[in-house]
Structure formats: structure tokens, C-alpha cells
A and B are shown apart, each in its own frame.
Chain A
């Protein structure tokens, strides 16, 4: 299958390893990955912070870049959610009815990585090997906006060598929240500190999730505390082999 990769501006700049892992993984499974170089950003930060008008051109560009593809994979649950849920809303706000339709149609072909693997490609065992103690944090957008359910866990359970441990109070938000982390740093850090305490309780060497933005927050705290616990995007575990 020919799959377009929307890597997201955040991963492109700060976590290119996640994008590479998606390419490695999908090619290993026998699929063709294309990266339309005109892509930039889904507009999530602007939209969530109250700058929906500034989002208009970003939505238009996204649709133009990706509308011809049958499957678009996004290694970020919150960006996938932004595209599917909010791109049509933005188009409506700027009064572009044609764009509302196109954004809806393009959005219906957008998949978060674990949705693509399980629902479209029909695989659970992706042939990965990762001999570490790992815990999984279901980010709010994967859990409540996209409703990915146990897909990530099904994929992780099939990884050889993995010691997967359950994260207590997993469904609770880590406190990142985009610009919330800067606008409300005290509450954000208090929430993150509790999340980090839970992670450490599991004895995991690695905490993984479907969103590097949440992981940047959790990882930033883990690193400041010199815990030695590493954050890793789910894709990088699924791409790993011996």
C-alpha cells in the first residue's frame, strides 16, 4: 500500500527519529511510504490557543498537500485529532464551504499510527524486538479524542522481549496541554510530577506514548530529576529489531 507520511512539524524538528521509525516500520511491512515535502504543520497549537483564523492557511495547505492520498499516517495522536476533528471547523470559521468538504474528506483518510497498523493494514505483530521494561501512557488525545482504545497495547504486547508493565492511573492527563504548560506552569508541573511518580513506581526503563509532545513534558521532568528513565515514541519501539 502507498502511504503518505505527515510527520508533524514538532517531530520533524525535535524528534526526527520518530519519523524515521515510521518509515522503517512500514517499509519492513512491505508498504511504500511517501513524504510530500510541501507539508508543514496542522495548526494545532494555533487552534488550541485561540488563533483559529491564523489556522486557515495551514488547513488549506494541508488539504492541498494530502487530498490525493488514500491513506495518511500521522505519528501524533493530537495532530491526527486536530486534522480529523477541527480542520472542518476551522474551514467553517473562515467561511470556506468548499474547504469544509475537502477537509472532511481528507481527514477521513488520516490515521494515527496504531489505527493504520491495526484497522487498515491488519497487523498486530509487526516483528519488533525490544528487550526492555516499558510502560505505556495513553495520551488524552489518543484515548478520548481519537478513541484508539487498546490498539497501542495490542501492538506492544506482540513485541518480542518486551516487559510491558501497566501504568497506574494511566488515563490521567500528564499536564502538558500545549501552551497550558507555559501559561499554567505550576499546575502543569504538579500534574507532571504525579505522572512521573507513577512511571517510576512501575520500575520501567522506558515510558512510551503515541505523542512526542506529551513525552517532551514527561521526559523533561524525568531528565531534570536525573531518573535515567527514557521516553520513546511508540513507533520507535515497533520499529526496533535485533
Chain B
């Protein structure tokens, strides 16, 4: 990988530079009992609820197929719909900005905030701003960004990173949250307990003050309806709506793949998203605004940040259908054990494993390891509301990966051996002899070389004294 590529990667997701490869990061996670417990409890609960919510809709399969078609169509004609969106937002008094990458987007937002003279902004939970590392970029310019989503607030106060798309603090238990609040939240009561109601109350007190003081808000966007220039944010707490409506200036940052052509298309996603993410029939708060609202200045920042490059890949582009519901994380057995941080990106889990390397353009240890962070079990594809064939994309990304020299040689040799029944038979005899030398009756306790990674925890089977083909030949 060249220095230029690395710099480009850093420009796209600046806060995650230098993350270790997935297997190393996951090693610590699987040993963390508390993390295992928190994740297992949270994911199994939501998994069952989602299944129930989805089973209520008889036409789920049809909705899923329709959503896939809408997204594919929009991504195919992305330029057209983005221009339409810009035209409509502008006609309704909003100001549209275009950003090629994270650095450009951060620059635009920082300049807009500076122009207001403010140094504090409130934020609606947003994946796009996590992706571009906006909070860190603003901090470097002397601007404090205050997260107002409860889970994002927990992450921010804990000087932590999000580990789940929908529930960024999923790795934290109640007692940990209480400790973080006591330590970091100005004005948190000394007798704060870990009861959920008490914790929510403390956060509410803290946030209410922020909402009332804030002059500028930054949000993300769940959907943008091109035909009317309407922006949509869905959420559960109502804190997002406070940010969207109270401040004088609203800056919304969206990835360019969030656009949908029409309101009729939006209806499909508003059915799929809540049931897939929170297992609700409808999300509690759906805020929609078209252009600038009276008394408010509205800026829309359209961010590419690797999306056009992803779109160029015929197999990989389906990752751009993602509506950030988290259903794939909640069913993923690998995510459940490795936790979200191991994925080295604000997008963890199966979708992160295909999205991050594509958006960042691979080349770092973590991005190179992500396509392999899956058993290809297919549970993610089964629940994806926009039918992203995640295993297919994972295998596709593996075929484009740079393989290690030793592995490449071994795989080529294996392919050469397997191409001929004679060579295979010879290989079997050799493996059989070696295996029987290494193995005792029950199994092989220790294999040499990289195969120790198998026998460190598992016995290996001893090759049979007679292969099937030898038996067959004798028989006939």
C-alpha cells in the first residue's frame, strides 16, 4: 500500500488509524467476561423481539425485495437524484454543500459553525459524523460537540468508542454507566444509582440545559426524499427532535446513498427500519423537514467519502443499500463474541466488515482482516431488510485481498495437488503417515506450523489408514 493510499484512508475515517487487525483485537474481547455478558444479553433479547415484529407482516419478503429494488435503482441513477435533491432543498431555502471526503466535510461544518460565532453545538445521533470523525475535527478547531442521544452521550462521557450502530454503548452495563455519569457528567447527583429510570433522569436534566442553550445543531439523515427535498430523521428518545427544532442553525450531514426518489419509496423503508432495528412497529419520533424551516438557517452537507468508489464495484455496491438498522449485528455470532470495537470502525459487525474496507479503500491491517472476520454462516443475509448478500460480498472482497506470501504458496500448492486424483492420492498417503505419527488413538494434540492455531484449542482428526478411494478400489 502506498503512502498516498494510506493518507486517503486516514482522510476518510481519521479516528481509527492504527487499529490492530481483527483477530488481535478480538482476542482481548473474548476474554472479557463482562463484555460477553452484556453483549449476549442485549443481542439475544433484541434478536427475539425483531423476529416477532417481522413475523407480524405477511408481506415482509415483498417489502424487502421492493426496498432492494428502490435502493439499487437510486444508486444506479445517483447523480440524477442528488441533483434533484439539491434543487428541491435549495428551492425551499436550504443551502447544499458537497464534500468529497471526511476532511472536506469536516472543513465545511467547522467553517459553518465558526461563521455563527458559536463554540458549542448539540448533536443528533449520526453515523455519518462518526464516520468522518467530526467531533474530533471540531475539537481541534476549539468547538465542543455535545452528543444528545443517550447511548452516544454515555460513549462520549466515557471517552470511549461506539460499538454498535443503534446502541453505541451496548458494551456497557448499568453499573458502568452510573460510574461514568458520576465521574464525568456535570451536576450528576451523588446518590445516583444504576436504576434505568434514575440514569435516564440524570441524563435528561443534563441534556435539557444543553438544548435550551444551543444555537447550532448538527444532525445526520436517515433518508432524503429527492422529489420534495425532505430530510428524515428517525429516533426513539425525542432528543433528536429537540436538536432539530430548537437551534437557530441546523447542519445536516448525510452520505450520498441516503437519498430515495419519492415519498412512496420512503414508506417502504419506514416499515422495514423500525422492525429491523428496535423491533418496533413504528419508531417513536419521525422528524421530517423540507429545506429551511422559518426562523432557522439550514445547511445540508452531502458526503461521498468512498461511496462513489464503492458504487463502481458491481458486487460490492450492494453495501450501499444499508439503512443502518443493526439487525445483522444482533444475529452475528462473531460480533456477539468479538464486540464492536474489534472492527476498528463506527460500522461494526457484518455490515462493517463489508462497508469499512470499501469506504476506506483497504490497505490497513484492520481493513485487510475484516473480510475474513466471518464464518460465512449467512445469518446476516437472512435478516437484512434490504437483502444485502453479505457473505457474497465478503468472499468477493477476499478475492481482491492481498494474500500473504506463505499462504499464497500453500493455497497454490493445494490447488495443484487437488487438480489430479493421482497427486491427491499421493498427498493423502503422505498426510496419513504423518498424521498417524503425530496422532494418538483419539486425535492429534499438536500440529506443526500455522496449524497449531487449530490444535491450540482443538484435537485434530487422524487421517484414516485407508482412504475412501482405496476402499472403493479394493471393493470393485
A145 within 8 A of B: yes
- CB of A49 within 8 A of CB of B398, answer yes
- CB of B457 within 8 A of CB of A189, answer yes
What sequence of 0s and 1s flags, for each residue 383-417 of chain B, a beta carbon within 8 Å of any chain A beta carbon?
A: 00000000000010111110100000001101100
What sequence of 0s and 1s flags, for each residue 368-387 of chain B, a beta carbon within 8 Å of any chain A beta carbon?
A: 01011111111101100000
Q: Tell me the nearest residue of chain A to B465, going by C-beta.
A: A16
A73 within 8 A of B: no
| Cα–Cα, bound, A15→B471 (Å) | 12
- CB of B451 within 8 A of CB of A58, answer no
- Chain B residues in 8 Å Cβ range of A189: 30, 457-458
- Chain B residues in 8 Å Cβ range of A217: 458
- Chain B residues in 8 Å Cβ range of A179: 372
- Which chain B residues in 424-476 approach chain A with CB under 8 Å? 424, 428, 431-432, 442-443, 445, 450-451, 453-454, 456-461, 463-464, 466-469, 471-473
- CB of B23 within 8 A of CB of A186, answer yes
Q: Which of B381, B415, B451 has the most CB of A within 10 A?
A: B415
- CB of B337 within 8 A of CB of A15, answer no
- CB of B454 within 8 A of CB of A220, answer yes
Q: Which residues of B approach A to under 8 Å, CB–CB?
A: 22-23, 26-27, 30, 333-334, 337-338, 369, 371-379, 381-382, 395, 397-401, 403, 411-412, 414-415, 418-421, 424, 428, 431-432, 442-443, 445, 450-451, 453-454, 456-461, 463-464, 466-469, 471-473
Q: Quick one: given A51-B411, A183-B372, A185-B453, are A13 and B418 in contact (CB under 8 Å)?
A: no
Count A-side interface residues using an 8 Å CB cutoff: 65
Q: Quick one: given A144-B377, A190-B30, A220-B443, are A40 and B461 in contact (CB under 8 Å)?
A: no
- CB of A186 within 8 A of CB of B27, answer yes
- Chain A residues in 8 Å Cβ range of B451: 182
| Cα–Cα, bound, A185→B373 (Å) | 11
- Chain B residues in 8 Å Cβ range of A186: 23, 26-27, 30
Selecting from A99-107, A116-124, A169-177, the interface stretch reads A169-177
Q: Tell me the nearest residue of chain B to A7, going by C-beta.
A: B468
| Cα–Cα, bound, A182→B452 (Å) | 9
Q: Tell me the nearest residue of chain A to B408, going by C-beta.
A: A51
- CB of B337 within 8 A of CB of A177, answer no
A219 within 8 A of B: yes
- CB of A16 within 8 A of CB of B23, answer no
- CB of A223 within 8 A of CB of B459, answer yes
Q: Quick one: given A182-B453, A187-B338, A189-B458, are A173 and B23 in contact (CB under 8 Å)?
A: no
- Which chain A residues in 182-214 approach chain B with CB under 8 Å? 182-192
- CB of B457 within 8 A of CB of A9, answer no
Instruction: Quote the shortest CB–CB distance from A139 to chain B (angstroms).
Output: 9
- Chain A residues in 8 Å Cβ range of B377: 140, 144, 173, 177
Instruction: Quote the shortest CB–CB distance from B331 to chain A (angstroms).
Output: 9
| Cα–Cα, bound, A40→B420 (Å) | 7
